[in-house]
């Protein structure tokens, strides 16, 4: 004799369904945990990408800043001082005569502008404790000047590096940007400044 579901009493039907088993609960918890891990991983990746974009924006702004300083002081001697900048960053320069508090010659102003620019690269104005909070990570900057053509190169350590960028050797070989310089990021700005 076979029993159909309609011929069973409501009480015996409930006994056969049995409710949610432990395996179903474990599978649901596993799926939920994988979703949370995926979201956390995505958040970390988004934060790193956002920070890289912030660093690139800051490097571009700093490159434009030094170009404008050079445009406002275009004497031959000043441009020669600007054009001799090679691998500065990390507090390598000593403070020259303060041109904000004193009258300076064009060459003294160029030296002061380079020192102040290095401070901005390092984020020294936003220093908190022993770390520079507002600058680039392991910055190095180089400026070349040749017959009025000025090229500013700024290198820093990024998160998403995969290959050493070309266009300038600024910062290379210093051991700051990982094996093969793969974490080295680079911004190049070229312009023409007429010498006076």
Asked whether residue 138 is domain-assigned, the answer is yes
Range of the domain at 176: 21-192
Asked whether residue 10 is domain-assigned, the answer is no
Asked whether residue 53 is domain-assigned, the answer is yes
The number of distinct structural domains making up the chain is: 1
Residue 176 CB partners (closer than 8 Å, separation 6+): 138, 140, 157, 184
Residue with tokens 């990746």: 45
Cα three-residue angle 52-162-62, rounded to 5 degrees? 35
How much is the pTM? 0.78
Strands 140-146 and 131-132 turn out to be unpaired
For residues 170 and 141, give the distance between their C-alpha atoms in angstroms, rounded to a whole number. Answer: 6
Asked whether residue 137 is domain-assigned, the answer is yes
For residues 45 and 34, give the distance between their C-alpha atoms in angstroms, rounded to a whole number. Answer: 16
Asked whether residue 6 is domain-assigned, the answer is no
Tens digit of each residue's pLDDT, the chain (196 residues): 555 555 656 555 555 555 668 888 899 999 999 999 999 999 998 888 888 899 999 999 999 999 999 999 999 999 999 999 999 998 888 999 999 999 999 999 999 999 999 999 998 866 555 555 678 999 999 999 998 999 999 999 988 667 888 889 999 999 898 888 888 999 999 999 998 8
């Amino acid at each position: 004799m076979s029993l159909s579901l309609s011929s069973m009493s409501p009480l015996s039907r409930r006994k056969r369904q049995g409710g949610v088993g432990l395996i179903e609960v474990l599978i649901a918890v596993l799926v939920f945990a994988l979703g949370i891990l995926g979201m956390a991983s995505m958040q970390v990746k988004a934060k790193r990408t956002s920070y890289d974009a912030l660093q690139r924006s800051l490097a571009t702004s700093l490159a434009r800043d030094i170009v404008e300083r050079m445009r406002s002081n275009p004497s031959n001697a000043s441009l020669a001082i600007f054009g001799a900048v090679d691998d500065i960053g990390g507090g390598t320069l000593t403070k020259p005569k303060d041109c904000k508090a004193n009258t300076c010659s064009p060459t003294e102003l160029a030296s002061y502008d380079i020192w102040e620019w290095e401070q901005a690269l390092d984020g020294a104005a936003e220093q908190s404790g022993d770390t520079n909070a507002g600058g680039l990570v392991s910055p190095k900057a180089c400026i070349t000047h040749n017959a009025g053509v000025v090229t500013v190169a700024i290198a820093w350590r990024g998160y998403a590096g995969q290959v050493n960028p070309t266009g300038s050797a600024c910062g290379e070989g210093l051991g700051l940007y990982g094996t093969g310089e793969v974490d080295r990021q680079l911004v190049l700005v070229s312009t023409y400044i007429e010498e006076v």
